[in-house]
Amino acid sequence: MKERVVLAYSGGLDTSVCVKWLQEKYDAEVITLTLDLGQQEDFSEIAARSKATGAIKHFQVDAKEEFLTNYVLPSIKTNGMYQGKYPLATALGRPLIATKLVEVAESEGATAVAHGSTGKGNDQVRMDVTVRALDPNLKVIAPVREWNMSRDEELVYAKKHGIKIKPSNSIFSIDQNLWGRSIESGPLEDPNTEPPDSAFEWVTPPHKAPDSAGYIEIGFVEGVPVTIDRSEMNGLELIRHVNQFAGRYGVGIIDHIEDRLVGIKSREVYEAPAALTIIEAHKDLEQLTLTRNELDFKAGVEREWSWLVYSGLWMDPLRFALDSFVRTTQRRVSGTIRVKLYKGGLRVVGRSSKNSLYTSALSTYTKASTFDQSSAVGFIELWGLQSRIAAKIASDATGEKNVEHPKRKQSQALKQKSK
């Protein structure tokens, strides 16, 4: 019997060529799988293209709800941002694609799965590691990584084998799902070149955005966004709404130098209006409802969680453990946040929560204050105790030539001034 391979299929040049290449090199029967993660593709056309390339079967899975519930929402609760910039859109989608590859492979009796990742990117790691964690017996094939063809060579190969490729009007390489859109290649490979306005589809360039500010109020229940301007929305509808609203005001463009897992410094451009707006609102609500100790510790958890997701370790036990911690913190993260958007900028301008740790009676400077200022004297006495002792010891240690002390420096400066 021929070997069966399940291929993650986008319908683009790379994966269309992959079908024929797998048939030739491995003498394999190829089954294709496409996931709808909110990328708004013509999935009937993709299915037709799969059939035309010679795949024996095609699966199309609507995974938007699963992607939202099991991947995006945990990322919101964690404020998932790699290097403080990238909201992990593609990184979150890859382990779900890998999971579905394994499911289809097991149901169809396949011995291998394949994907179109290159040997230079992060996706190969995310796909390979997740597949092997779920089913170590499955072989993982990455044709693009093996054949090392240029795009021009791929086009020649496609023409030779009668593979029809949908013409692209874009000079960029695009990947998108409901949480973000990545834009690569072309002129963006020069890190000193500003992205042209034509690169963006979700975000109005700030200089073309409305001249008046827009306001949006996001309501959260236990860390999950559930309302917009006091109106309840399901998760997918809410993200689409924020994406369109924030994008209209020029919010959501990310342009930075990213450290890829394989060691390459890469110039990355993203559009993520909903992700940036919702995470900024969520962080502000946490600031209102969580203690300083919780916030300080969670900041480290957020960095580690984002690194694990970015680097393809979605299945790592540490990620599950960190999720448990984050879920615990979110029990009090309920309330509403009002965000102002203007010409590409966003700023939280209002917040409220029944779990707020902010108490106006303590914070006010009016006579209504309930804060006992006399308590501050004893607090300061104890708070600075060790610092004062250390300062005295340093001041008394005049015999040590290398001892530097602000008091001594000030005395020397005064002496020089008096002369």
* Residues forming the active site: 14, 94, 123, 173
DSSP state letters, 260-314: -TTS-EEEEEEE-HHHHHHHHHHHHHHHHHS-HHHHHHHHHHHHHHHHHHHTT-T
- Which alpha helices (H) appear in 311-359, and where do they start and end? 317-329
Long-range pairs, 262-266, Cβ under 8 A, ≥24: 262/119, 262/120, 262/121, 262/122, 262/125, 264/120
Residues 407, 52: Cα–Cα separation, whole Å: 82
Torsion of CA 280, 282, 286, 287, to 10 degrees: 20
Burial 143-179 (b: 16+ CB within 10 A, else e): bbbeeebeeeebeebbeebebebeeeeeebebbbbbb
Tokens of 149: 């063809």
With residue 123 as reference, give the H or E element that holds it.
Answer: helix 123-134
Query: Which residues on adjacent β-strands are paired with residue 232?
Result: 227
CA angle, 366 as apex, 363 and 368 as ends, to 5°? 80
Kindly report the number of other CB atoms within 10 A of residue 28's CB atom. Answer: 22
Residues 343, 207: Cα–Cα separation, whole Å: 7
- Whether the Cβ atoms of residue 274 and residue 243 lie closer than 8 Å to each other: yes
Kindly report the number of other CB atoms within 10 A of residue 131's CB atom. Answer: 25
Q: Which amino acid is at 167?
A: P
293's torsion region: left (phi>0), alpha (psi -120 to 50) or beta?
alpha
